[in-house]
Structure 1
Amino acid sequence: MLHLKKLNLLYVLIFGLLVAGCKDKNVEPTIETALDSTTASDYKAINSWLYEIMDDAYFWYKDMPAQASLDATIDPHDYFEKLVYQRETVDRFSSVTDDIDALQNEFDGISKIFGISYALSYIDDGKSNIGIFLNYVVKGSPAEIAGLKRGDILLKVNGTQLTASNYTTLLGSGETATFTLGALNGTTIAATSTTISITKAEVSEDPVAFSSVISKPTYGKTIGYLVYTQFVPGTTADEAKYDNELRQIFADFKSKGVNELVLDLRFNPGGYISSAETLASLIGKNVSASKIFYKEQWNDKYVAYWQKTQGADALNYTFLNEANNIGNNLSRVFVLTSNGTASASELVINGLKPYMNVITIGEHTAGKNLFGSLINDDQNRWKWGAYVMLGQTANANGESDYGTVNGMTPDYLIEDSKVPYKPFADENETLFRKALDIMGIPAPEGLRIAASKTVDPFKKSLRDDLKVRKNLMIKKGTIQLIHP
């Protein structure tokens, strides 16, 4: 079996096979393809390797078909699908790639991108033309440098209007694209004369898209607002860079007396569990390193192994002692959600519930209570790798009932379909407005509200070239393959 050595709740999976990390994202897993030196003659060895990994570490290994019943000469993408347990309803996340380096970079928040996160929606009653509605722009990306921002509307790519039939080709056509901006005129969204040309670049994405403190002294409220887009602890050069940025933000929240917190996870597909621990430990009320944040359930072989080597509490993980925790000044936390809120994001929501009132506003989450690891070949024979679901998580009360296609049902179900999207922390922004209402803070009087339109969504939470970010919950650690 794979022998795992636990290391500060970070699993840098290296088991004779090196394991990298496990992040998550919603809906179907994206099949990664790239130029690879392997040929059909290698498929048998690759598929044998895939089966060995899955038979050992996969949460549902007992439900896999017998290896002898499978055709080991077929394409590994097809072979892997035969091993996955109930793809449509249960394991929607395990996947295989023939370019593990590219996938690892994506997991680490490094990718060659324009830097736009968006939804696609119809702009006409006939539902033929669609628009790109930017929900945020990555810091330091080509899109931000070009001047694009949340709320912008893009209607044409290289001079051609986006439609339901051509958007895939237009958005995936090349490294450089010229976008034509659109604007809302009355009830019509139409193209303007403004165009912006952007060329993709490799960007290490800062997961803190926005943070602010909003003071409402009349109502006795000081509101901390944080938009967090992925759980990534840092960069290669500074492994704790982004976690430390979170700590600084909460130090600011604490010094300014924040007593209401809005955590915007609408665009967060998950990431490293270590960063989920950091964030939850900065928020939780009366939490400490003696309180359970979450519990893990592996397959029976690993449960037996962990408990034998680490004791009965081996799979209980506690909060961290964070000096900038603001939980004692909070009675609740508001979390803004979407269908793209997944994995480590859901772990934070679920893990905080035993300790404080967690009020969710928005749409159903992705429904990923699973964690996994990206595994590559220790012998470096190929670039193939597998993102394998190793188990599931539960909170301190043993609750883990959201791992379905319906995800978590928000306390206040609100579809985020009013465009143009307003800036983060704008008091009339759709989901934030609801949080303010619950706090008892009315909309400002005498403020002219900009024109808006409710659109019919076509695709949600996309990034750049049509990538739906993976729903990830990643563990780092060391894993060694040992043979009995």
Structure 2
Amino acid sequence: MLKFKNYGLTGCLALLLFTVSCKTSDVDPEVVSTTDTTYTSVNSWVYELMNDAYFWYDDMPTESTLDKTISPFDFFEKLIYQRTTVDRFSMITDDIDDLENEFNGISTIYGIGYSLSYLDNTQTSIGMFLNLVVKGSPAEAAGLKRGDIVMKVNGTQLTSSNYSSLLSSSETAVFTLGTLTNGVIVVNSTTISVTRAVVNEDPVVFSSVITKADYGKTIGYVVYTQFVPGTDADAKKYDDELRAVFANFKSQGVNELVLDLRFNSGGYISSAETLASLVGKSISGSKIFYKEQWNDKYTAYWKKANGANALNYSFLDEANNIGSSLSRVFVLTSNGTASASELVINGLKPYMDVVTIGEHTAGKNLFGSLISDDQGRWKWGIYMMLGQTANANDQSDYGTVDGMTPTYIVEDSSVPYLPFGDENETLLRKALDVMGIPASTDLRTGATKRVAAVTSHMYRDNLQVKENRMIRTDHLPLLNN
């Protein structure tokens, strides 16, 4: 027998994929109560949810063998299936409201994305190399831009031993910039002060059309940083921005497309459906975009409730689809390209050639739900993996720590980073080369330098690494045993 229970899931049932920066189990929790009674109640609630809908529920330890008086952060980890290799994504939070805001692109930030690399072969001093500045953020307002090099924070040179404390400590930071001169990165006199503020991040960062008439190419290029459909005030704001970009591409006769998803670690599947439906060749609302697989209980439930094709999800009929003018799509990737981004790549493969350029992706073919307590007893919440996705050809072989292997492996290590849309920018340049378009002799290439990364991560703000989220949300039915 089935009964429906409102678990406080956010969003709509059309499977959502999301990746954001948020608290993880290695962060000290701001505990609502430290009493064993409260912990026991929270942990009992967590176990009930996981035992019902978790994709690997039948691999969890028996409830009676667990100590429910321990911290929910520790208790949750005892339920996770193969944390390091399989379920790298489920998590628990003690502030569900804060996490939900971050899932919706609302956070308190400077508004910078960057890599950390050594300045020279001594591997002592390091620089922050800005690869992204968020639209409408304090960083943009202060004048920071992609390509800037930050050498000092609050007057202190960044080094391999102090960068963690310097980048994690301040609401206001004074950044001292550097310049590449004669092959050496040196400090200059420019300082920029930035104070973090609440920002609703617009994911449609940049778009342009590059016309190469001599080669018969009109190239659409768009940088898209997260799959978020809109804001509280306008639920379709960002999806409609994407539609407007593709309307422009269509009107200009774009016949090659470059999707820059280097900084996109996921988001709502509804937005993934929108993007894929604007790109796909010979697709329509009757063609399968992706399929879902749940645990055995929920697979049986959904098919009984909605029919044999209940877990097949179709493309949308988008008026500004440009697929008829494309034979392929180029996607720029990094190890931060995840979840909804990978879903778009995988979902388009049965319909057109998808050429990926950059680094291996994150490898997340799993989807989950963000779940709060429907009785409002606490602010604890869990992000639980419910299942995995596959494309129309049942392909889903990228859900590993190695992710998707790019068609062309290109290391994005030349700094300073060039502006988006610059034809000499490392990954876009490779796409143009594959198209058969050589670098123009009219373009003057600025001085660049290859640097060695301190870590493989691309950071946001205070050493935040965007977690890879693939979220499905609605009123989840609780299945009685």
Equivalent residues, number: 474
Q: Please state whether the residue corresponding to 1:457 is helix, strand or coil.
A: coil
Q: Please state whether the residue corresponding to 2:253 is helix, strand or coil.
A: coil
Match in the other structure for 1:473: 470
Alignment of 1:174-189 (within 5 A): 174-189=170-185
Query: How far does residue 444 in structure 1 lie from its aligned partner after superposition?
Result: 0.8
Does the alignment pair 1:304 with 2:300? yes
Q: Which runs of 5+ in 1 are unaligned?
A: 5-14
Whole-Å separation in 2 of the counterparts to 1:3 and 1:228: 40
Whole-Å separation in 2 of the counterparts to 1:263 and 1:149: 21
Query: How far does residue 446 in structure 1 lie from its aligned partner after superposition?
Result: 4.4
Instruction: Indicate conservation of the 8 Å contact 1:33/1:97, yes or no.
Output: no
Query: How far does residue 336 in structure 1 lie from its aligned partner after superposition?
Result: 0.2
The AA in structure 2 aligned to 1:473 is M
Does the alignment pair 1:344 with 2:340? yes
Instruction: Indicate conservation of the 8 Å contact 2:345/2:354, yes or no.
Output: yes
Q: What does the per-residue CA deviation read over 1:319-359, in whole Å, with 9 as the maximum and x for residues that have no partner?
A: 00000000000000000000000000000000000000000
Whole-Å separation in 2 of the counterparts to 1:119 and 1:170: 15
Say if 1:18 and 1:28 are closer, same or farther in 2 by CA, change over 3 A.
closer
Whole-Å separation in 1 of the counterparts to 2:28 and 2:305: 39
Does the alignment pair 1:35 with 2:25? no
Q: 2:437 aligns with which of 428, 432, 441?
A: 441
The AA in structure 2 aligned to 1:470 is E
Whole-Å separation in 1 of the counterparts to 2:342 and 2:17: 12
Query: How far does residue 3 in structure 1 lie from its aligned partner after superposition?
Result: 6.1
Instruction: Indicate conservation of the 8 Å contact 1:26/1:366, yes or no.
Output: no
Q: Please state whether the residue corresponding to 2:396 is helix, strand or coil.
A: coil
Instruction: Indicate conservation of the 8 Å contact 1:122/1:457, yes or no.
Output: yes
Say if 1:155 and 1:393 are closer, same or farther in 2 by CA, change over 3 A.
same
Does the alignment pair 1:458 with 2:454? yes
Does the alignment pair 1:19 with 2:9? yes
RMSD: 1.7
The AA in structure 2 aligned to 1:463 is R
Whole-Å separation in 2 of the counterparts to 1:28 and 1:19: 17
Q: 1:44 aligns with which of 18, 33, 40?
A: 40
Match in the other structure for 1:164: 160
Q: What does the per-residue CA deviation read over 1:62-111, in whole Å, with 9 as the maximum and x for residues that have no partner?
A: 11111111111111111111100000000000011001111111100000
Whole-Å separation in 1 of the counterparts to 2:201 and 2:21: 22
The normalised TM-score by structure 2 is: 0.96
Question: What percent of counterpart residues are identical?
Answer: 68
Whole-Å separation in 2 of the counterparts to 1:476 and 1:28: 18
The AA in structure 1 aligned to 2:342 is E
Query: How far does residue 470 in structure 1 lie from its aligned partner after superposition?
Result: 1.5
Query: How far does residue 40 in structure 1 lie from its aligned partner after superposition?
Result: 3.1
Whole-Å separation in 1 of the counterparts to 2:351 and 2:194: 46
Query: How far does residue 188 in structure 1 lie from its aligned partner after superposition?
Result: 1.4
Does the alignment pair 1:115 with 2:111? yes
The normalised TM-score by structure 1 is: 0.95
Q: What does the per-residue CA deviation read over 1:154-189, in whole Å, with 9 as the maximum and x for residues that have no partner?
A: 111100111222112111112111010111112211
Alignment of 1:265-344 (within 5 A): 265-344=261-340
Q: 1:395 aligns with which of 381, 386, 391?
A: 391
Instruction: Indicate conservation of the 8 Å contact 1:110/1:202, yes or no.
Output: yes
Q: Which runs of 5+ in 2 are unaligned?
A: none
Query: How far does residue 472 in structure 1 lie from its aligned partner after superposition?
Result: 1.3
Q: 1:195 aligns with which of 181, 191, 198?
A: 191
Query: How far does residue 475 in structure 1 lie from its aligned partner after superposition?
Result: 2.0
Whole-Å separation in 2 of the counterparts to 1:192 and 1:110: 33
Q: Please state whether the residue corresponding to 1:474 is helix, strand or coil.
A: coil
Match in the other structure for 2:427: 431
Q: Please state whether the residue corresponding to 1:317 is helix, strand or coil.
A: strand
Q: Please state whether the residue corresponding to 1:238 is helix, strand or coil.
A: coil
Match in the other structure for 2:354: 358
Say if 1:482 and 1:403 are closer, same or farther in 2 by CA, change over 3 A.
closer
Q: Please state whether the residue corresponding to 1:180 is helix, strand or coil.
A: strand
Whole-Å separation in 1 of the counterparts to 2:205 and 2:444: 27
Instruction: Indicate conservation of the 8 Å contact 1:268/1:342, yes or no.
Output: yes
Q: Please state whether the residue corresponding to 1:472 is helix, strand or coil.
A: coil
Whole-Å separation in 2 of the counterparts to 1:369 and 1:401: 8
Whole-Å separation in 1 of the counterparts to 2:427 and 2:438: 14
